[in-house]
Amino acid sequence: MTEPTQPPAGFAKLSCRQRELVAQWLPGAVPVTDHSWGLVDTAVVEATYAGNRFIIKAGGATNHHLNREIEAHYHWLAPWTAIGRAPELVAADDDAKVLVTRYLPGRLVLDTSAAREPDTYRQAGHLLSLIHAQTSAVDVDYETRANRKSMAWLDGPHRIAPATVRRLRALIDSWPIGPVTVVPTHGDWQPRNWIINEGTLSVIDFGRAALRPAMTDLTRLASREFAEDGSLEAAFLDGYGFDPREPDSWFRERVREAIGTAAWAYQVGDRPFEGHGHRMIESALDTP
């Protein structure tokens, strides 16, 4: 058996095993652009092979995002890939935490004029409704797991004020626990994971995909884009078809998201995002 040719030095962020697999899947691939965010141990490299463009994503040994992304490609993305609105999977190895998808043309919506246009959010709402509608299940342990995760964030390193921590702990302890309906969710539904090409919106980055309540995919938009411009929220709900948020459950999700944002951003050293997380906590706790 012929030994695979190793990809060039542009794949240096990949492990030896990951580079071997890429060499088998795309022999002679040439790296073009490093799209990695740099805050977590996920490498994202655009490459060319046989005249086509691909995206290679790889994670470190403790990275669980790649496994979630691979699972999403295998089980949940068909409503999007069938209409060309998400990248198609070419190859993946769950154990090695590496995957290859076809390149999806477009530019990130984040920090562009499209991020302020209602039609972008109308399309985003419609696309989200497609993945949410494909299947559902009842999860009797979701609330317990979600509360435990929030408590773990509060137990770990952060800069949330002690008095606020005590208030949050008491609040979480008071919440009812019961079964909830869960659906396939993206988990990071916001403009930094949308791309637009000639007015058409598509979706990338499925490293937080999981079965959750549908409303959880609105938490990040609600804390920024919806709060800044109500017309964007209205357009989004028009595209989605209805508002999936039930007030009491929505309050719990807002608090959980705020805690996780403030703690995670502190741990990775993202000071602006950490500040946003603290403002999210304040806003949630000020809710009547």
CATH number for the domain spanning 256: value is 3.90.1200.10
Is residue 47 included in any domain, yes or no? yes
User: Measured between alpha carbons, how far is 107 from 161 in angstroms, rounded to an integer?
Assistant: 39
pLDDT band of residue 41 (cuts 50, 70, 90) is confident
User: Measured between alpha carbons, how far is 157 from 152 in angstroms, rounded to an integer?
Assistant: 10
User: Measured between alpha carbons, how far is 189 from 270 in angstroms, rounded to an integer?
Assistant: 19
Is residue 2 included in any domain, yes or no? no
Does residue 142 have a pLDDT over 90?
Answer: yes
- The verdict on 170 and 93 lying in the same domain is no
Whole-prediction pTM: 0.91
Does residue 241 have a pLDDT over 90?
Answer: yes
pLDDT band of residue 3 (cuts 50, 70, 90) is very low
- The verdict on 167 and 228 lying in the same domain is yes
Is residue 248 included in any domain, yes or no? yes
- Decide which of 225 and 9 is more confident: 225
> In CATH, what number is assigned to the domain containing residue 96?
3.30.200
Burial of 229 (0-12, 13-18, 19+ CB in 10 A): middle
- The verdict on 98 and 169 lying in the same domain is no
Output b/e per residue, 17-48; b: 16+ Cβ within 10 A. Answer: ebbbbbbebbeebebeeeeeeeeebbbbbbbe
Please, are residues 211 and 183 in contact by the beta-carbon 8 Å criterion? Answer: yes
Tokens (6 digits) for 54: 């691909």
- The verdict on 92 and 118 lying in the same domain is no
Average pLDDT over residues 230-247: 98
Helix (H, G, I), strand (E, B) or coil at 200: strand
Residue 166's identity, in one-letter code, is R
Is residue 166 included in any domain, yes or no? yes
Does residue 160 have a pLDDT over 90?
Answer: yes
Residue 38: the pLDDT is 65
- The verdict on 136 and 96 lying in the same domain is no
- The verdict on 277 and 169 lying in the same domain is yes
Average pLDDT over residues 184-189: 97
Is residue 3 included in any domain, yes or no? no
Which of 52, 87, 104 is at the close of a domain?
Answer: 104
Tokens (6 digits) for 99: 């995957």
pLDDT band of residue 40 (cuts 50, 70, 90) is low
Please, are residues 255 and 223 in contact by the beta-carbon 8 Å criterion? Answer: no
Average pLDDT over residues 261-282: 96
Structural domain span for residue 206? 108-285
Tokens (6 digits) for 237: 């709900």
